[in-house]
Amino acid sequence: MAGKIKYLMVDRELCIGAASCVALYPEVFALDDENKAVILKKDGIKDSGKTDVDMLEVSAVDDDTLMLAAQSCPTLAIYLYEEDGTQVYP
Ligand code: SF4
């Protein structure tokens, strides 16, 4: 799956800080001081809000790794969307 995922988001209410997303894709996910996952964006911005993959700090996002990271989340807190807004996961 290449270039299919256009947006990602973390639901902070669901995130329990298990950090498997961080382990699988540390260029995209990190934990903040509340032990919730944030998305690493350009210009050092870190938050959990819906993010265009073009705004990520990492220059070329790998869809397969992003999907693996989302699938690794025990509470299904990572949402992935296509360009037209269709939810790809979960
Ligand atoms: S894997 Fe899920 S629960 Fe764990 S830090 Fe990432 S988003 Fe949060």
Alpha carbons within 13 A on the beta-carbon side of 38: 14
pLDDT, position 9: 98
Record the pTM.
0.95
Q: Could you say which residues of the chain have pLDDT below 70?
A: 1-3
Tell me which residue has its CA closest to atom 2 in ligand 1: 73
CA–centroid distance, 82 to ligand 1, in Å, is 21
Q: Answer for the pair 55, 44: CB distance below 8 angstroms, yes or no.
A: no
Measured from the CA of 31, which atom of ligand 1 is nearest? 5
Residue by residue, what is the 3-state secondary structure of the chain? CCCCEEEEEECCCCCCCCCHHHHHCCCCEEECCCCCEEEEEHHHCEECCCEEHHHECCCCCCHHHHHHHHHHCCCCCEEEEECCCCEEEC
CA–centroid distance, 70 to ligand 1, in Å, is 8
pLDDT, position 1: 47
Third-level CATH fold of 5-84: Alpha-Beta Plaits (3.30.70)
